[in-house]
C-alpha cells in the first residue's frame, strides 16, 4: 500500500474518531433543555450541572481529534485542504464560531450563580451543539456526493448549492444520531431520574436515526456506492438496531458501544465511497480531485508517518486513561451547592 493511500486511511480514522467522540458531546449539549428540565430553578440547575459534568473531563480532549484531522489534511493533502476550506468557507466558519461559543459557555457557565447568567451560557451551549452537528453532516454528505468543481479543482458553486436535499438529509441524520448518542452516554454515566429520562429519549431518537440513516445511505449509495460501502451501510443499520435493543433492556454500555460503532461505520462508509477521489466533481467526474493529485511529496508523507507512529499511541493511551479515571456514574446528589457570586 502506498503512502497516499495510507494517509487517506489515517485521515479517515481521525475524522471517525472525532465524530464518535465529539458526537456524544454535541448530543449532551443539544439535550440540555430536555434532560435539564425541572420543577424549579434549583432542580433545573442541578440536572444541567449533572449533564455537563458527564462530559466535563473529556469534551476538550475529544476536540483534539478535530485539530489533528484538519492538520493532517493540510500537511498530507494540501490541495484537498485548500479546495475544501475555500469552497466550504462560510459553513466551516459557522462551525468554528459555534464551537467557540459552546466551549466558552461550558467554561463560563459556573463562574457566577445567577439565573440569567446561566440561561445565556446554556443558550450558547445548545446553539453551539446544534449548529456543528447539522453542518458537519451537510459538509460531509456534499463532499461524498460531489460538488461543482471546475477543471482547475476550484469550487464554482454558491452557499445555497451546499444546502441541497441530500445534504440536508445528511445534516439532519447526523444531528439526530448525535442526540441518540448523547442520550445513551448520559444514561451510561448517570443515576436516578436523569438516567431513566435519557434512556427514554435514546429509544425515540435511536429509532428516528435508524430511519433517517437508512434513507441517507441508500440515497447516497445509489449515487456513488461501492460493494464495500453497501456492506458497511448494512452493518450500520444492524448496529443502530443493536443500540436500540440494548437500551430498551437497560444495557446502556452495550447500547452506547453499538451507537459508537454505528456512527464510526457511517464515516467509514462515507470515506469508502469517496476513495480514490477526495473531492468528486458533480458536473464532470474527470475534473474530480483525486487523492494522488492532492497529496504532498513522498518525503513529507514519510516524515508524517514516523511522527504518527510515535505520537498517535500516546494520545490514544492518554485519552483512554482519562475515560477510565472518570468512569463512575454521577447524579444530582453528587452536585455541591453553587459557591460563585450571586448575579441576576
Give the contacts of 168 (CB within 8 A, at least 6 positions apart). Answer: 138
pLDDT at 341: 46
**What string of DSSP letters covers 286-327?**
GG-EEHHHH---HHHHHHHHHHHHHHHHHHHHHHHHHHHHT-
SS3 call for 146 = coil
Per-residue pLDDT of the chain (344 residues; tens, 9 = 90+): 789 999 999 999 999 999 999 999 999 999 999 998 888 888 889 999 999 999 988 888 888 899 999 999 999 999 999 999 888 889 999 999 999 999 999 999 888 888 899 999 999 999 999 999 999 999 999 999 989 988 888 888 888 888 999 999 999 999 999 999 999 999 999 998 999 999 999 999 999 999 999 999 999 999 888 899 999 999 999 999 999 999 999 899 999 999 999 999 999 999 999 989 999 998 888 899 999 999 999 999 999 999 989 888 888 898 899 889 988 888 888 777 765 544 44
Q: How far apart are CA 148 and CA 287, in angstroms?
A: 9
Omega before 101 within 30 of 0, i.e. cis:
no
C-alpha cell at 179: 442526540
**Alpha helices, DSSP H, located in the chain:** 3-30, 32-35, 41-55, 59-62, 64-76, 78-87, 89-108, 115-145, 159-162, 165-189, 192-224, 227-248, 252-274, 291-294, 298-325
Angle between helix 115-145 and helix 3-30 axes, rounded to 10 deg: 150
Strand pairing partners for 190? Answer: 330
- Residue 277 has phi, psi (to 5 degrees) of -85, 160
Q: Which helix (H) or strand (E) holds 279?
A: strand 277-279
- Residue 155 has phi, psi (to 5 degrees) of -70, 125
The residue count of the chain comes to: 344
pLDDT at 326: 87
Nearest to 203 by CA among 176, 228, 222: 176
Q: How far apart are CA 90 and CA 95, in angstroms?
A: 9
Half-sphere CA count of 259, side-chain side, radius 13 A? 36
The single-letter DSSP state of residue 109 is: G
pLDDT at 339: 52
Angle between helix 3-30 and helix 298-325 axes, rounded to 10 deg: 30
Separation in Å, CA 119 to CA 186, 288, 304, 326: 21, 47, 45, 27
Q: How far apart are CA 132 and CA 91, in angstroms?
A: 9
Amino acid at each position: 500500500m502506498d503512502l497516499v493511500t495510507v494517509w487517506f486511511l489515517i485521515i479517515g480514522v481521525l475524522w471517525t474518531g472525532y465524530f464518535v467522540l465529539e458526537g456524544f458531546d454535541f448530543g449532551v449539549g443539544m439535550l440540555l433543555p430536555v434532560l435539564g428540565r425541572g420543577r424549579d430553578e434549583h432542580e433545573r440547575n442541578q440536572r444541567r450541572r449533572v449533564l455537563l459534568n458527564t462530559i466535563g473531563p473529556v469534551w476538550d480532549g475529544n476536540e483534539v481529534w478535530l485539530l489533528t484531522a484538519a492538520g493532517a489534511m493540510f500537511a498530507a493533502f494540501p490541495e484537498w485542504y485548500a479546495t475544501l476550506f475555500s469552497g466550504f468557507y462560510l459553513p466551516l466558519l459557522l462551525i468554528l464560531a459555534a464551537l467557540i461559543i459552546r466551549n466558552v459557555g461550558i467554561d463560563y457557565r459556573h463562574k457566577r450563580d445567577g439565573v440569567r447568567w446561566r440561561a445565556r451560557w446554556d443558550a450558547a451551549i445548545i446553539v453551539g451543539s446544534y449548529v456543528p452537528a447539522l453542518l458537519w453532516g451537510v459538509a460531509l454528505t456534499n463532499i461524498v456526493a460531489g460538488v461543482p468543481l471546475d477543471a482547475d479543482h476550484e469550487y464554482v458553486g454558491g452557499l445555497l448549492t451546499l444546502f441541497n436535499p441530500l445534504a440536508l438529509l445528511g445534516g439532519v441524520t447526523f444531528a439526530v444520531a448525535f442526540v441518540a448518542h448523547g442520550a445513551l452516554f448520559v444514561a451510561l454515566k448517570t443515576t436516578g431520574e436523569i438516567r431513566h429520562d435519557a434512556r427514554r429519549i435514546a429509544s425515540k431518537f435511536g429509532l428516528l436515526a435508524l430511519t433517517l440513516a437508512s434513507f441517507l445511505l441508500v440515497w447516497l449509495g445509489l449515487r456513488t456506492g461501492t460493494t464495500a460501502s453497501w456492506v458497511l451501510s448494512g452493518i450500520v443499520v444492524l448496529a443502530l438496531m443493536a443500540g436500540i435493543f440494548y437500551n430498551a433492556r437497560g444495557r446502556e454500555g452495550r447500547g452506547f458501544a453499538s451507537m459508537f460503532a454505528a456512527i464510526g461505520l457511517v464515516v467509514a462508509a462515507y470515506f469508502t465511497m469517496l476513495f480514490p477521489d477526495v473531492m468528486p466533481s458533480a458536473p464532470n467526474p474527470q475534473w474530480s480531485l483525486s487523492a494522488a493529485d492532492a497529496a504532498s511529496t513522498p518525503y513529507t508523507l514519510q516524515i508524517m508517518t514516523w511522527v504518527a507512529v510515535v505520537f498517535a499511541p500516546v494520545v490514544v493511551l492518554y485519552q483512554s486513561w482519562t475515560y477510565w479515571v472518570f468512569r463512575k456514574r454521577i447524579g444530582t446528589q453528587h452536585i455541591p451547592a453553587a459557591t460563585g457570586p450571586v448575579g441576576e
